[in-house]
Chain A
Amino acid sequence: MRFKRVLRLLCAASMSVALVGAASAQDKTVKIGAVFPLSGNAASAGIHAKFAIETALDIINNPHPEFGNFPLANNAGLAGLGGAKVEVVFADNQGSPATGQNQALRLITEEKVVALTGSYQSGITLTASAIAEKYGIPFVNGESVAANLTERGFKWFFRVTPVATDFARIYFDFLKEMKAAGVKTDNVALVHDNTEYGTSVASVITSVFKENGQSIALDIPYAVNATDVQSQILQLKEKQPDVVIMIAYASDAILYQKTMQSLDYKPPMMIADDSGFSDPSFIKAVGKISQGVFNRSSWNVGPAGSPTAIIADMYKKRSGDEMDDTAGRQMQAFFVLCEAIDRAGSTDPAKIQAALKATDLKPDQLMMGYKGVKFDDKGQNILASGLIIQLQDGENYVAVWPKANAEKDPVLPYKGW
């Protein structure tokens, strides 16, 4: 009895999946699902992601000749599908891996989306993309950096962003160059939360530094969404590391900066691993007491009139905030996905998958400062790259390394407030 019911459900599910393909091919819209933290503690990031994707939709669905050769901008809709408009169905992961998974399932089976993007937190991208894999729906991720996401042998998962390994190397090279310039960098401390993101980035940094003959002097993990971080700061104060690398989401990042000020602790040098420290509300809340913090980024506004400058302008009009690296990487991933659908000339998930595999975008076709977009067998973009930025005035990050891309020289030591 029970078995029969399950069987019936499965039949219904598989039929509805089959119907999606057939039905949406005739539609004039291409439906894409986006799972982001629209509520919960990371809602700030999720809502900015939504603004970023809505900006991308404006560029794709309306004619924008001012963008020149930028893919998908010139004409209205996707030329490869006879000008079909792209529609995005947003879903809220509430900051929970289980909810993210349910939402992915709902988008695929009920909203009948042909591809998915999201989900900000690595731990949620992990679960949501597993559903996409099961149903054979392409999942293009723009911002989750945990290493294992592309180590699962998935065939439908594509990641555009540089990953923890890339950044760990950037940090190492940057510190090496600083050391050559006479800065003390031997004693490195890591502070990270216990999420998928925090633990995996920390362990990748540890192993990359180890490969290069440097061990991490102090490792401080803590539970995410902390109510208090005084003890962590006091541990740092006691051990006096030369460099502190912080891996934290926005709520904790703000608390750390406030607590560092109240306990009067300034490391000589502080590097933040994007996420919380790139959140626009982080800069507004505690930017002024975080002057001189280094961060990683792949986003640069560029000269006036360039596609990136126009995008930054459009995004600011929509969101009221400056474009940041995280929103930029999400937007870039969405463009990559739409470009592949356009090239596939079809909403058949298998054809989109094939087109994604054949993606070969050059730097001038991108809004982010990557060397290009080309996926390896695991679905990782092998041409992703980034640079080091610094919050020198407490209001805007500027590029400081490598020298070729630098707008200003790095300023040391960490100033704080």
Chain B
Amino acid sequence: MSSILVQVIVGGLLLGAVYALFSSGLTLIWGMMNIINFAHGDFVMLGMYVAFVIWTLFGAGPIVGAPVAVLVLATLGIIVYFGLIRSIMKGPMLAQILGTFGLALLLRYAVFWWFGANFLSLPENIVGGTYDVFGIRIQASRLLAGVVALIVTGGLHVLLTRTTLGSKMLAVAEDSAAAQLMGIRPDSMQAIAWAIAAGVTGIAGALIATFFYIVPTVGETLGIVAFVTVSLGGFGSVPGALVAGLLIGVIESLSAYWIGAVYKDIVVYSLFLCFLWFRPQGLMGKA
């Protein structure tokens, strides 16, 4: 295998890890309350701007930026839950879709108004440059995002399957009324779910900002991939999103390299549709 091909695959894996990290918050919200958060991409965008502001104000990298982004986004998640989601969940499906979509536009244009339309960027070496491993270039910032994606996925999985809090959250997701009879408060569980999902999104944003440009519409550019990742992985399955993200990353990179960059989306989306034809619940989703 030529070294270029190895580089293509490594690049694809790192890209896929980012997709997975990007998507984990989205899949969590779906798993918890059967709501698709169309504002998800814009949550990531906010995380990116938090990282940028932290860097401009204090000159600090994602080590400070990411935790702050978690706090800011988690708070926002709770506010969004009590201010919007709780009421629209009672409405028809369409209200839920349009509600989060409206939230997306609100966030996007608020940032647009405050920061302007300029493309922003963090300095290239904010996470320690690029490693050269036997001629294969591995960008530290992408590697960090990849490692964090693994940790976050593992963490969320453990939280949901091995802890009391996770069991309570899943109980609410399964049957809110029954959970209530068992003494679990669905409201607080769902607010916690939103806080965790939004917080994870904040980490994703802060890390993606270290190697991607920052602009109010960036959530739109990256958002479509998130939806594909989540449905390929299986709605609600956090490990599924990781596997799906890596798969999409590698397929994208290889098809761009072999067939041409302009065709890569055709390859990815046709494989995606074929897959859904045979397994509509996704890789690890429940049928």
B260 interface residue (CB < 8 Å to A): yes
B121 touches A254 (CB 8 A): yes
Contacts of A225 in B (CB 8 A): 221
CA distance A236 to B249 in the complex (A): 20
Per-position contact with A for B111-132: 1 when CB-CB < 8 Å, else 0? Answer: 0100011111100100000101
B217 touches A238 (CB 8 A): no
A279 touches B4 (CB 8 A): no
Contacts of A264 in B (CB 8 A): 130, 132, 137
B211 interface residue (CB < 8 Å to A): yes
In the complex, what residue of chain A is closest to B142 when comparing beta carbons? Answer: A262
CA distance A280 to B118 in the complex (A): 8
In the complex, what residue of chain B is closest to A43 when comparing beta carbons? Answer: B117
Question: For residues 125 through 146 of chain B, which have their beta carbon under 8 Å from a beta carbon of chain A?
Answer: 130, 132, 137, 139, 142
B213 touches A43 (CB 8 A): no
A237 touches B4 (CB 8 A): yes
Given A232-B256, A251-B213, A289-B124, CB of A41 within 8 Å of CB of B15: no
Contacts of A46 in B (CB 8 A): 117
CA distance A289 to B125 in the complex (A): 11
B84 interface residue (CB < 8 Å to A): no
A227 touches B130 (CB 8 A): no
In the complex, what residue of chain B is closest to A284 when comparing beta carbons? Answer: B118
CA distance A44 to B222 in the complex (A): 19
A221 touches B262 (CB 8 A): yes
A181 → chain B closest CB, angstroms:
32
Give the most central of A43, A229, A282, A417: most B CB within 10 Å.
A43
B217 touches A41 (CB 8 A): yes
A44 touches B118 (CB 8 A): yes
CA distance A284 to B15 in the complex (A): 25
- Interface residues contributed by chain B, number (CB under 8 Å): 40
B4 touches A258 (CB 8 A): no
Given A41-B221, A230-B11, CB of A258 within 8 Å of CB of B211: yes
B: residues with CB less than 8 A from A are 4, 7-8, 11-12, 15, 109, 112, 116-121, 124, 130, 132, 137, 139, 142, 211-213, 215-217, 220-222, 225, 249, 252-253, 256-257, 260-262, 264-265
Given contacts A43-B117, A223-B264, A262-B124, 14 further A-B contacts (CB under 8 A): A221-B262, A222-B256, A225-B221, A227-B222, A228-B249, A228-B256, A230-B253, A231-B256, A251-B221, A261-B130, A262-B137, A281-B119, A284-B121, A285-B213
A: residues with CB less than 8 A from B are 38-41, 43-44, 46-47, 194, 220-223, 225-232, 234-235, 237-238, 250-251, 254-255, 258, 261-264, 279-282, 284-286, 289, 417
28 sampled A-B residue pairs with Cβ under 8 A:
A39-B117, A39-B217, A40-B217, A41-B217, A43-B112, A43-B215, A194-B262, A222-B256, A227-B222, A227-B225, A228-B15, A228-B249, A230-B15, A231-B264, A232-B261, A234-B257, A251-B221, A255-B212, A255-B213, A258-B121, A261-B124, A261-B130, A263-B7, A264-B137, A280-B118, A281-B119, A282-B119, A284-B118
List the 10 shortest-distance A-B pairs measured between CB atoms, nearest first: A43-B117, A222-B261, A231-B256, A285-B121, A281-B118, A230-B11, A281-B119, A262-B139, A231-B257, A221-B262
